[in-house]
Amino acid sequence: MAENSGIEWCHHTYNPWIGCTKISAACDNCYAEAWDRRGMQQKASRWGPHATRTRTKTRPNVRKWDRKAAELGIRYRVFCASLADIADNHRSIDPVWRRDLVSDIRAFQNLDFLLLTKRPQNVAKLYPDLMEDWPANAWMGVSTENREEMLRRGEVLATLPASITFWSAEPLVEDLGVIPREIMPSWVITGGESGAQYRPADPDWFRSIRDQCKAADVPFLFKQWEGKNQKEIKAKGRALDGVIHDGYPAGRAA
Ligand code: SF4
């Protein structure tokens, strides 16, 4: 599925900047920080409240993706961001970086930008131009790794004017329980944790989300079980006693 991304549900990833600060349980084993430190992309850390985020040079790629999608007559899903949080309000993030992101969203109409955050409470303040006139190709999502964050972030997400919303319940670290219908998004992604420190997940947690999505007519994606590495995860297969992926939000084909 993913052309330039290792993430099944998107074709590309777009990081306007890199770096972040851990904020909740889903961040405990942040793969982005581990990847960045491992690769030694730069000497100074970009992670934590005292570290400076840095700009990337990937912006020109967005134009190429858009052109390609137009040529093929399809839409590309662009995950934003895999190595940062788009609603991080760290002082080192130049407001111009955010304005450029919004400008790209508006300019490249063959792309759907999947904006994912663990800080939805910052979105209105950091992106006033989005709030004024929210483009249909900006999907807004929040991480919902446990019930507390599902309720807290899900409630804020439901107040934002995005026409397509989504949850990333990955890594899922506890049962979400009953999902209030009023905060149900347009799409739910779920998955277990990967990495040496992965936390075990109960298959019933995923089944419960899937069944509630079905009842609410919301597309559901089960991405993977938890495990130490991709080899171990793949060996577990993806069986979940039924549907593991039933499409994308209305109006947006796979
Ligand atoms: S919000 Fe995302 S990028 Fe930031 S520390 Fe948490 S998991 Fe990592």
Per-residue pLDDT tens over the stretch 195-229: 999 999 999 999 999 999 999 999 999 999 999 99
More confident residue, 31 or 41: 31
User: In degrees to the nearest 10, what's the CA dihedral of 143, 165, 222, 245?
Assistant: -170
Q: Ligand 1 centre from 136 Cα, in Å?
A: 25
Residue of minimum CA distance from atom 7 in ligand 1: 27
Q: What band does 35 get if pLDDT is binned at 50, 70 and 90?
A: confident
Per-residue pLDDT tens over the stretch 43-67: 678 999 999 999 999 889 999 999 9
Q: What band does 230 get if pLDDT is binned at 50, 70 and 90?
A: confident
* 11 token code pair: 């074709």
- Which pLDDT score is estimated for 40? 61
Q: What band does 2 get if pLDDT is binned at 50, 70 and 90?
A: very low
Q: Ligand 1 centre from 25 Cα, in Å?
A: 10
Query: In three state form, how does the secondary structure of the chain look?
Result: CCCCCCCCCCCEECCCEEEECCCCHHHCCCHHHHHHHHHCCCCCCCECCCCCCEECCCHHHHHHHHHHHHHHCCCEEEEECCCECCCCCCCCCCHHHHHHHHHHHHHCCCEEEEEEECCHHHHHHHCHHHHHCCCCCEEEEEECCCHHHHHHHHHHHHHCCCCCEEEEECCCCCCCCCCCHHHCCCEEEECCCECCCCCCCCHHHHHHHHHHHHHCCCCEEECCCCECCHHHHHHCCCCCCCCCECCCCCCCCC
Residue of minimum CA distance from atom 6 in ligand 1: 27
Q: Ligand 1 centre from 35 Cα, in Å?
A: 12
Ligand 1 atom closest to residue 83's alpha carbon, by position in its atom list: 3
Per-residue pLDDT tens over the stretch 15-27: 999 999 999 999 9
Mean pLDDT of 242-253: 72
For tokens 């509630």, what's the residue? 212
pLDDT of 3 above 70: no
- Which pLDDT score is estimated for 41? 57
pLDDT of 179 above 50: yes
Domain boundaries, the chain: 12-235
**For residue 19, which of 86, 79, 115 has the smallest C-alpha distance?**
86
* Ligand 1 pocket mutation, candidates 30, 86, 89, criterion most atoms within 8 A of CB: 30
The CB-side HSE value for 115 (13 A sphere, CA atoms) comes to 28
| CATH code reported for the domain at 12-235 | 3.20.20
Confirm or reject: Cβ of 34 under 6 Å from ligand 1. Answer: no
Residue of minimum CA distance from atom 8 in ligand 1: 30
pTM of the complete model: 0.94
Residue of minimum CA distance from atom 4 in ligand 1: 20
Question: How many other CB atoms are there within 10 angstroms of residue 249's CB atom?
Answer: 16
Q: Ligand 1 centre from 12 Cα, in Å?
A: 18
CA distance 179 to 150: 8
